[in-house]
């Protein structure tokens, strides 16, 4: 989710990089922030982003600074142009989603997840941005599945032949306390023995900031997604009981099992069957439709103007390389093999429909 939020932020910022023309030049100079009374303009920020070569990613051990393959602003520019081209391609083929269809898809996702819109807004997206993502997802799906038919009988057969894909996984609601010394471990044991709740003690003593903020709530409930060592602990710990201390590096972790739910077959509802049908159609469409090629052809015939100077230079060089690659493909005798990859596609706001929840 942190990466998804980062992508959304980049998209917004890069929009300013190529969306403002001469008449909007003054708007680009708007103050973005002030530092001790000295301003940082929106233009300053966009110019900086255009050449930024590093980015923080969530690598599981906290944020890690990594080198980007291309300047971050240019990656955002590529993604946004590619997204626009795909929507134009969907319009050309008569499959661009309507407002009513977008609203229906939002209702479907909310029915599946319960808090879909809230999750997206907590990640920093506005409702308009969420709808834009849904439009892109639907347009891409429809371009892939145009003319593809999956019958109800085929859906029923798929579900029957893939029972593991239609099983609710075993789940466990866990709390945890993480400390870095034997002294803290003894304090935790003393408070728990004295009757303090596990959640209270986790908030008081845990040295993991996330545990303190959430009262020790472990973020994963699907047992199959937990580390193998933790799965074994959950299996042998009864609900409303705590595990022994587990050494982790120089510290210790203790878990408390609030509840456990065994694996069980999913209810095969009409909504589930429709998700399976859509997924099967997408898989078949990928085999018969080279959507990347269609987008590349759309790109080569597009009139694209990038107004931010640094990004404009990078985009011009990129398109020169794309054209050389296309010429080499159509005329192999040139011997040229160097080419630029197609612009990367923006990540969809949620995985394509599957039988799994």
pLDDT of amino acid 234: 95
Region 4-29 average pLDDT: 42
Render pLDDT for 161-208 as a digit per residue (tens, 0 to 9).
999 899 999 999 999 999 999 999 999 999 999 999 999 999 999 988
3-state secondary structure of 82: helix
Render pLDDT for 277-316 as a digit per residue (tens, 0 to 9).
999 999 999 999 999 999 999 999 999 999 888 899 999 9
Residue at 298 is within a domain: no
d(CA 14, CA 44): 13
Residue at 198 is within a domain: yes
Banded model confidence at residue 29, pLDDT cuts 50, 70, 90: low
Identify the H or E element spanning 321: helix 309-330
CATH number at residue 186: 3.10.50.40
Q: Please state, in angstroms and as integers, the Cα–Cα distance from residue 346 to each residue in 28, 81, 133, 239, following that order.
A: 25, 10, 9, 42
Render pLDDT for 220-273 as a digit per residue (tens, 0 to 9).
999 999 999 999 999 999 999 999 999 988 899 999 999 999 999 999 999 999
Render pLDDT for 109-142 as a digit per residue (tens, 0 to 9).
999 888 889 889 988 889 999 999 999 999 999 9
Residue at 210 is within a domain: yes
CB 51 within 8 A of CB 71: yes
Q: What angle do CA 83, 349, 65 make, to 5 degrees?
A: 90
pLDDT of amino acid 356: 42
336 against 241, higher pLDDT: 241
Dihedral of alpha carbons 335, 70, 1, 342, sign? negative
Buried b / exposed e along 155-193 (16+ C-beta atoms within 10 A): beebbeeeeeebeeebbbebbbbbbeeeebbeebeebbe
> Which residues make beta-bridge pairs with 268?
none
Residue 78: pLDDT above 50? yes
Dihedral of alpha carbons 221, 227, 229, 231, sign? positive
Q: How many distinct structural domains can be found in the chain? A: 1
Residue at 197 is within a domain: yes
> Which residues make beta-bridge pairs with 252?
179, 247
Read off φ and ψ for residue 40, nearest 5 degrees. -115, 120
Residue 76: pLDDT above 70? yes
Residue at 255 is within a domain: yes
CB 281 within 8 A of CB 150: yes
Residue at 148 is within a domain: no
pLDDT of amino acid 113: 84
Please give the residue range of the domain that contains residue 257: 170-262
Residue at 245 is within a domain: yes
Dihedral of alpha carbons 48, 52, 58, 63, sign? negative
If you average pLDDT over every residue of the chain, what do you get? Answer: 84
CB count in 10 Å sphere of residue 216: 27
Q: Supply 140's token pair.
A: 């891409």
pLDDT of amino acid 44: 87
Residue at 311 is within a domain: no
């Amino acid at each position: 989710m942190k990466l998804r939020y980062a992508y959304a932020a980049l998209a917004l910022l890069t929009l300013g990089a190529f969306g403002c023309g001469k008449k909007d030049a003054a708007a680009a100079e708007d103050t973005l922030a002030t530092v001790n009374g000295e301003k940082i303009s929106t233009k300053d920020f966009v110019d900086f982003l255009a050449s930024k070569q590093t980015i923080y990613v969530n690598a599981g051990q906290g944020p890690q600074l990594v080198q980007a393959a291309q300047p971050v602003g240019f990656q955002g520019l590529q993604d946004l142009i590619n997204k626009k081209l795909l929507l134009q391609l969907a319009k050309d083929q008569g499959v661009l989603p309507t407002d009513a269809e977008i609203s229906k898809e939002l209702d479907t996702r909310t029915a599946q997840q319960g808090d879909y819109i809230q999750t997206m807004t907590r990640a920093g997206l506005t409702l308009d941005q969420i709808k834009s993502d849904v439009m892109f997802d639907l347009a891409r799906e429809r371009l892939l599945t145009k003319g593809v038919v999956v019958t109800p009988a085929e859906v029923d057969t798929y579900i029957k032949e893939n029972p593991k894909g239609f099983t609710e996984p075993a789940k466990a609601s866990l709390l945890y306390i993480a400390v870095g010394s034997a002294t803290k471990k003894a304090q935790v044991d003393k408070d728990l023995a004295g009757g303090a709740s596990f959640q209270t003690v986790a908030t008081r003593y845990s040295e993991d900031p996330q545990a303190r903020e959430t009262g020790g709530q472990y973020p994963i409930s699907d047992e199959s997604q937990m580390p193998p060592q933790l799965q074994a602990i959950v299996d042998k710990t009864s609900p409303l009981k705590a595990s022994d201390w587990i050494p982790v590096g120089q510290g210790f972790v203790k878990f408390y099992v609030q509840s456990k739910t065994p694996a069980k077959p999913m209810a095969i509802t009409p909504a589930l069957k429709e998700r399976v049908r859509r997924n099967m159609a997408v898989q078949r469409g990928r085999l018969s439709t080279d959507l990347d090629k269609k987008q590349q052809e759309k790109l080569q015939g597009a009139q694209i103007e990038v107004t931010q100077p640094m990004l404009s230079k990078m985009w011009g060089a990129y398109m020169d390389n794309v054209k050389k690659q296309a010429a080499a493909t159509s005329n192999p005798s040139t011997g040229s093999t160097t080419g630029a990859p197609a612009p990367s596609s923006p990540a969809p706001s949620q995985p394509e429909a599957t039988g799994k929840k």
